[in-house]
Amino acid sequence: MRFQDVEKRFGDHVVLKNLDFTVNKGDRVTLIGPSGSGKTTILRLVMTLEEATGGYIFIDGQPLTHEERGGKRVELKERHKNEIRKRIGMVFQQFNLFPNMTVIENIIEAPVHVLGLSKKAAKEKAMGLLEQVGLADKADAHPLELSGGQQQRVAIARALAMDPEILLLDEVTSALDPEIVGDVLGILRDVAETTDITMLIVTHEMQFARDVSNRVLMFDGGHIVEEASPEVMFTDPKEERTRAFLSAVL
């Protein structure tokens, strides 16, 4: 995944400008930085929930929403965007499950309707994922009958059901009670250890960031202030801005 000179503005408000970075296949990159620094916007751009107002984003070398043709920035067709979108999964802070569907219906919805899997195959796969997240007995429950932690585990299973090449995790434990944060992070640690899914992670859980990521990007005001391995970032950051941020959150 590559961001090339990406700009994102909302009206006059420039949130990201001249943003360049590359995430290699299999990388686990955590974005840290103060609230409002643009981290979630980056995930939303990759998920195509927002579109960049300038520059280019590439997934595996392919342009995501826009490409350069004859010196012009051209928007790509919806069909192209949908094809790329299939390869990306996202788990949100607020779970975002469909409340009117059961757990298993939530998980098979996209595999059936987007990937064209048969219902039977999708269900088998979903049951395997529910086992993995410890919720096989909740397949027929509705999301609102579950605790926040359980809903988040379903959301993780739903994202994994698409076999994503890239998994975007946006503050996935922020809405959870402290005592269940560890369960959810443990599941994600397992995913990190047992797959080669590229992960882009926004989190305030610095220990988790340290455990799973191989690179950390520190953002402030829509810019990358510092990039380092977790070992260096969390013990010996070079930039004063990073030190100030980390001493406030650690």
Cβ 17 to ligand ADP shortest distance, Å: 12
Instruction: Give me the phi and psi of 123, to 5 degrees please.
Output: -65, -40
Residue 15 binds ligand ADP, judged by CB under 6 A: yes
| Helices within the chain (DSSP H only) | 39-46, 78-85, 103-113, 119-132, 148-160, 178-194, 206-212, 230-235, 240-249
Residue 39 binds ligand ADP, judged by CB under 6 A: yes
For ligand ADP, which stretch binds (CB under 6 A), given 39-47, 78-86, 141-149, 206-214? Answer: 39-47
Cβ 248 to ligand ADP shortest distance, Å: 14
What's the N-to-C CA distance of the chain in angstroms?
29
119-130 exposure pattern, b = at least 16 Cβ within 10 A, e = fewer = eeebbebbbebb
CA-atom Rg of the chain in angstroms:
18
Residue 30 binds ligand ADP, judged by CB under 6 A: no
Contact 6, 54 (CB under 8 A): yes
Residue 36 binds ligand ADP, judged by CB under 6 A: yes
For ligand ADP, which stretch binds (CB under 6 A), given 32-40, 70-78, 112-120, 193-201? Answer: 32-40
Count of other CB atoms within 10 angstroms of residue 137: 10
Cβ 42 to ligand ADP shortest distance, Å: 7
Q: Which residue in the set 40, 65, 152, 242 belongs to the binding site for ligand ADP (CB under 6 A)?
A: 40
Residue 13 binds ligand ADP, judged by CB under 6 A: yes
Interaction with ligand ADP in 49-68: which residues (CB under 6 A)? none
Cβ 41 to ligand ADP shortest distance, Å: 3
Cβ 26 to ligand ADP shortest distance, Å: 24
Contact 57, 64 (CB under 8 A): yes
Residue 41 binds ligand ADP, judged by CB under 6 A: yes
Which residues, in sequence order, are CB contacts of 186 under 8 Å at separation 6+? none
**Closer to ligand ADP by Cβ: residue 41 or 242:** 41
Dist CA 91 CA 97 (whole Å): 10
**Closer to ligand ADP by Cβ: residue 13 or 72:** 13
Residue the block writes with tokens 């990521």: 213
Residue 37 binds ligand ADP, judged by CB under 6 A: yes
Which positions lie near ligand ADP, rule CB under 6 A? 10, 13, 15, 33, 35-41
